[in-house]
Amino acid sequence: MPAVKSNRPVNLSMGQVLAVNLRSPVAIASILHRLSGVIVFLLIPVLLWILDKSLSSPEGFEYVKNVVFGNFFVRFIVWVFVAGLIFHFINGIKHLLADLGFAEELQSGRTAATISLILSVIGILAAFVWIMF
Ligand code: HEM
């Protein structure tokens, strides 16, 4: 038996977790930073294959240009990779600045998270137009 009885709630439902976290830009930026890191990591082989193919020969380059990038689904996957990288990079800079002591308090951290979310959305939408059309 623990010496002090804890009233700390355990086994929170996912609804409770989301209700709290979706109201916090810091929490949203944090989980998306982890998710984007994993997405970028998982898609690296696809991008490496495209790069390898495009550098293999002039025919390989034409193949990637016309056939690979001619495919809507491949362009979408490439956009997901670029979107993940944009998000991860911008929020990574925020993390590194916080490590240096910038915007690490509650209010400044919220502001930094909001700014990085807005910049990420702008960059990700621009990448969508660039890659998909
Ligand atoms: C191929 C490129 C990259 C991959 C696959 C990648 C992947 C990851 C993953 C999986 C994590 C762990 C996330 C977590 O557990 O919360 C992480 C953390 C981190 N990444 Fe990246 N990353 C990449 C590029 C970058 C770049 C370019 C930056 C610089 C802006 C960066 C900055 C960071 C930082 C600062 C963290 C630590 C975040 C923390 O302390 O919670 N990453 N990365």
Q: 109 C-alpha vs ligand 1 centroid, how far in Å?
A: 18
Q: 37 C-alpha vs ligand 1 centroid, how far in Å?
A: 5
Least-confidence region, from 7-11, 42-46, 61-65, 92-96: 7-11
Q: Specify the 3-state DSSP secondary structure of 26.
A: helix
Q: Which fold, 25-132?
A: 3 helical TM bundles of succinate and fumarate reductases (1.20.1300)
Averaged pLDDT score across all residues of the chain = 95
- The C-alpha atoms of residue 18 and residue 27 are separated, in whole angstroms, by 10
- The C-alpha atoms of residue 88 and residue 124 are separated, in whole angstroms, by 11
Long-range contacts of 2-7 (CB under 8 A, 24+ apart): none
Is 95 assigned a ligand-binding role in the annotation?
no
Structure letter (DSSP) for residue 69:
T
ipTM over 0.95: no
